[in-house]
Amino acid sequence: MCGIIGYTGTKNSVPFLLQGLRALEYRGYDSAGVAVQINGGINTVKAKGRIDNLEEKINSSEIKTDGTCGIGHTRWATHGAPSDINSHPHRAPSLALIHNGIIENYAEIEEMLSAEGYTFVSETDTEAAAKLIDYYFVRLGDPVKAIFEATDVIRGSYAFGVIFDSYPDTIYSIRKDSPLIVASTEEGGFIASDIPAILSHTSSYYQLEEGIVAIIGKNNVSFVDRKGNESSQTRLTIDWNVEQAQKGGFPHFMIKEIHEEPEAIRKTVSTRIGEDGLPDFGIRELDIVRLSKFKNIHIVACGTAMHAGLIGKNIIEKIARVPVNVDIASEFRYRDPILSKDDLVILLSQSGETADTLAALRHAKSKGVYTLSIVNVIGSSVAREADSVLYTWAGPEISVASTKAYSVQCALLYLFAVQLARACGKLSDAFAKELCRKLTEEVPEAISKTLELSKEIKNASRHYLASEHLFFIGRGIDSALCSEASLKLKEISYIHCEAYAAGELKHGTISLITDGIPVVALMTEEFLAEKVISGIREVKSRGANVLAITTKEIAEKYAIPADKIISVPEVDEFFAPFLLATVVQLFAYHIAAGRGCDVDKPRNLAKSVTVE
Ligand code: M6R
C-alpha cells in the first residue's frame, strides 16, 4: 500500500528511485511519480498506471540525467481516483512531498489554507500536508520546525518524505502509524517504506521512531526530536538478501514462497525448542508457570493472519482448554471488547505494519492487557509496541497473497498451544515433546512431499479456470481452513468463493448449489469425516461437482462420493491442516496463473495495509 523511496548522493537519483519503486511494486499501487532537485528547483514527473509509464515520461523529461537528490512514490488510491494529478509527489511553492497514510483532517487544513490564499489542484488528502508544511516553512524559515509545526496540526497516519527547493541534497522525513526506514550508505542516503527498496544498497537501516525528524544528507543522517535535540535511533540489520527477495527461477513469488514453507516452519519452530525438547520462547510471560495465569486469549489480526488465528483457536481450545476469541482487528477496538487483566491478546501480522492490527494492539495496551505479537518483519511497529514479540522466520514475503507467513503463524500457534496445554496440566511433557518433534521434523517433511502434488493440483485446476463461483466446505478445524482457502482463491483469481462449515449449508446457502457448481470439501479430522461426506452427498445430489482434499487415511477408509479426490501424504492427523493449507494455496495459485491473472499483484490489493 503506497511505496516510498528517496535518495540523495553523488549519482543521478533517477535510477535509484525507479529501482526502489520497482522493488516496492508488490505493495500494490495504481500510479507513481518522482520529484528531483535540479538547478535550485524541483522537477516532478508523475504517471497513472505502471512504473513503465512513469519511466517513459521521465525519459522524455529533463530529470532523466540530472539531479542527485530525489523522492519517489507508488500510490494506492484512497482519496481521489488514480490519475497523474492525484499521484505523488505533491508540490507546494517551497517543496515536494510524498506520503503514505491518511490525513484525516485534510478538509479542515485545506479550508484554513484556502483562507491564506493556497489553492488545491488534486483530490488527495496529501496535498493538504504538503501545503501546510509550506505554510509553516514560509513563516519559520526552517524545514525541521515547519515539519514539526505541521505534524502538530495533522491528524491521521503518515510517513512523509520531503525535499525543499532551497535545501539541496537533503531529504526530510517523519512518520506516525506508517512505516519508514532510513539508511546511510557509501552510495548516499535513503528513505524507504520497506526493506526491498534499499536491499541492494545496504544491509543496515534505521526504523524511524514516531515523532522524530530524520535529516538525510549525502554522507550522513541525523535525527532530531520536537525540542531540537539530537535523537539516537537503533540501527537494525537486514537478515535476508537480494536473492531471497527474487523469484529464484519460479514464475511468481507466490509459488516460490509456497515452496519455502518447509524451511520457514523448521526455522521458526526449531529455534523455540529447548534442549529438553520442550517449547522455550525465551519470554518470561510464556514460561510454564506464568502462562497458566491467562484465563482468556484474544487473537487479533486481519485477513490471512486472522485465519491463522482461527486455526490457533481450534488447536489451543482442543489441547489446552483455554477459551480463545478471534477478532478481526478492524472491529476489535470499536466493539469495546471485554478485556481483563488476566487475558492475553495475541496480535498476528506478517508485515507488523497493518494499521488496524496496530490500533488493536494499542487498544489492548490501553486496557492494561498483556500483549504478545507474532510478526514476520523485524523492528516493525506491531513487533516493537507489543509487550513481547515472537518473530516468524519466514523470510521476505513479496507476493501480496500471503502463504508461507500463514503457515509459520499456524506453526507458532501450535507450539504456543503445546506450551499452554502443559502450563494448564493438560499435556504430559512426554507427549508435548513428541508433538514438538513432529512439528519440527515431520511437518516440514510432509509439506515437502505435499509440494510434489503440484502437478496433480495444476491438472485439477484446469477444471475451474472458467468458474465464476466456488464453495469450500469443511467441519471443525477444516472450516477455519476453508476461510483461508476461499480468501486465497478469490484474491488472486477473482473467482467468487464462499467458505462454509459443511453443516451450515442447508441453513440457506445450499439454494445456490446448482448443476456443475464447484464445491471443494476439506477433510482432515477422521471423527468428522462421515459428517462432511453427508455434506458432499447433499451438494452432489443438487448437481455440484465436488473435489475432496483429504488425508491418505480418510481417503483409504471412506468411500468419498466426490468427482475427484486429492489426498495428502501421511502425517499425524493433528498436523494435517498444514498439508491441506499447502494444497489449497497451490490450488489457488494454479487457477489464478491458468486464468492469466497477475498472481503476485492482484488488482486493488496492497501487501501491507497501512491505513484504516
Ligand atoms: O501484514 P499482515 O499479516 O498484518 O496483513 C494482514 C492482511 O492484510 C493479509 O493477510 C491479507 O489478507 C493478504 N493479502 C492475504 O493473502
- pLDDT-derived band at 380, boundaries 50, 70, 90: confident
Specify the DSSP element, H or E, that contains 38. strand 31-38
Q: Average pLDDT of 289-302?
A: 94
Which triple of cell numbers denotes residue 510?
445450499
| Average pLDDT of every residue of the chain | 94
Q: What is the pLDDT of residue 177?
A: 85
Nearest Cα neighbor of 184 from 214, 169, 170, 205 is 205
Instruction: List phi, psi (to 5°) of 340.
Output: -130, 165
Task: Report which protein residue has its CA nearest ligand 1's atom 8.
Answer: 303
The band of 92, judged by pLDDT with boundaries at 50, 70 and 90, is very high
Q: Of ligand 1's atoms, which has the minimum distance to the CA of residue 609?
A: 8
Query: Given this model, what pLDDT does residue 2 score?
Result: 85
Phi and psi at 386, nearest 5°, equal: -70, 160
Task: Kindly indicate the confidence band of residue 81, based on its pLDDT and cuts at 50, 70 and 90.
Answer: confident
Question: Does residue 239 or residue 259 have the better pLDDT?
Answer: 259
Looking at residue 4, its pLDDT comes to 96
Is pLDDT of 65 > 90?
A: no
- What are 19-28's pLDDT values in tens digits? 999 988 877 7
In the structure grid, which three cell numbers stand for residue 136, read together? Answer: 509553516
- Integer Cα distance of 129 and 151 in angstroms: 8
The conformational region for residue 211 under phi > 0 = left, psi -120 to 50 = alpha, else beta, is left
Q: Among 558, 503, 555, which residue's Cα sits nearest to residue 530?
A: 558
Measured from the CA of 608, which atom of ligand 1 is nearest?
1
Report the distance separating Cα 562 and Cα 474, nearest Å. 14
pLDDT in the model for residue 76 = 83
2 in active site: yes
Identify the band that residue 426 occupies on the pLDDT scale cut at 50, 70 and 90.
very high
Q: Are strands 564-568 and 545-551 parallel, antiparallel or unpaired?
A: parallel
Q: φ and ψ at 133, to 5 degrees?
A: -65, -40
β-bridge mates for residue 156, sequence order? 103
Grid cell listed for 135: 505554510
Q: Residues for the chain: how many in total?
A: 612
pLDDT for residue 307: 98
User: What's the gap between Cα 144 and its chain centre?
Assistant: 32
**Least confident range of 76-85, 235-244, 369-378:** 235-244
Measured in angstroms, how far is the CA atom of residue 607 from the centroid of ligand 1? 7
CA atoms within 13 A on the CB side of 460: 24
Task: Spot the catalytic one: 57, 131, 433, 607.
Answer: 607
> What is the arithmetic mean of pLDDT over 194-214?
92
* pLDDT digits 0-9 by tens, 115-134: 999 999 999 999 999 999 99
| 313 catalytically annotated | no
CB 70 within 8 A of CB 6: yes
Region 375-402: what's the mean pLDDT?
Answer: 92
Round to whole Å and give the CA distance between 48 and 54: 8
Give buried/exposed letters for 25-34 (b at 16+ CB in 10 A, else e): bbbbbbbbbb
Atom of ligand 1 nearest to the CA of 488: 16
Task: For residue 277, give the amino acid letter.
Answer: G
From 2, 302, 497, 597, the catalytic residue: 2
Distance 112 CA to ligand 1 centre (A): 37
Give the cell for residue 38.
535540479
Whole-number Å distance between alpha carbons of 86 and 2: 13
Tell me the C-alpha distance between 579 and 443, whole Å: 8
* 1 pLDDT higher than 80: no
Neighbour count for residue 199 (Cβ, 10 Å)? 22
Torsion of CA 524, 525, 528, 532, to 10 degrees: 0
Q: Which residue spans within 535-598 are E strands per DSSP?
A: 545-551, 564-568
pLDDT for res 246: 78
Whether the CB-CB separation of 215 and 231 falls below 8 Å is answered with no
pLDDT digits (tens, 9 = 90+) for 164-191: 999 999 999 999 988 899 999 999 999 9
pLDDT score recorded for residue 201: 93
Q: What pLDDT band is residue 509 in, cutting at 50, 70 and 90?
A: confident
Phi, psi of 324 (to 5 degrees): -125, 130
Confidence category of residue 245, pLDDT binned at 50, 70, 90: confident
Q: In this predicted structure, what is the pLDDT of residue 137?
A: 98
Label residue 379 by pLDDT band (50, 70, 90).
confident
CB neighbourhood size of 508 (10 A):
9
Which atom of ligand 1 approaches the CA of 607 most closely?
14
Handedness of CA 429, 446, 412, 196 (dihedral sign): positive
Residue with cell 490457533: 312
pTM of the predicted structure, to 2 decimals: 0.82
CB 470 within 8 A of CB 591: no
For the stretch 582-610, pLDDT in tens is 999 999 999 999 999 999 989 888 888 88
Q: Specify the residue with its C-alpha closest to ligand 1, atom 11.
A: 303
Hey, what's the cell of 280? 522455550
Distance 135 CA to ligand 1 centre (A): 38
Indicate the pairing of strand 41-48 with strand 213-216: unpaired
Judged by phi (left if over 0) then psi (alpha if -120 to 50, else beta), residue 535 lies in alpha
Mean pLDDT score, 463-477: 96
Given the C-alpha cell 508461507, which residue does it identify?
404
If you measure from the C-alpha of residue 194 to the centroid of ligand 1, how many angstroms do you get, rounded to a whole number?
16
Res 606: pLDDT: 82
Query: Which of 302, 410, 601 should be mutated for ligand 1, with most atoms under 8 A from CB?
Result: 302
Which residue is closest in CA terms to ligand 1's atom 7? Answer: 303
How confident is residue 333, by pLDDT bands cut at 50, 70 and 90? confident
Give the Cα separation of 98 and 100 in Å (integer).
Answer: 7
Is it the case that residue 228 has pLDDT exceeding 90? yes
- Measured from CB, residues less than 6 Å from any atom of ligand 1 are 302-305, 349-351, 354, 357, 400-402, 491, 605, 608-609
Rounded to the nearest angstrom, the distance between the alpha carbon of 437 and the centre of ligand 1 is 29
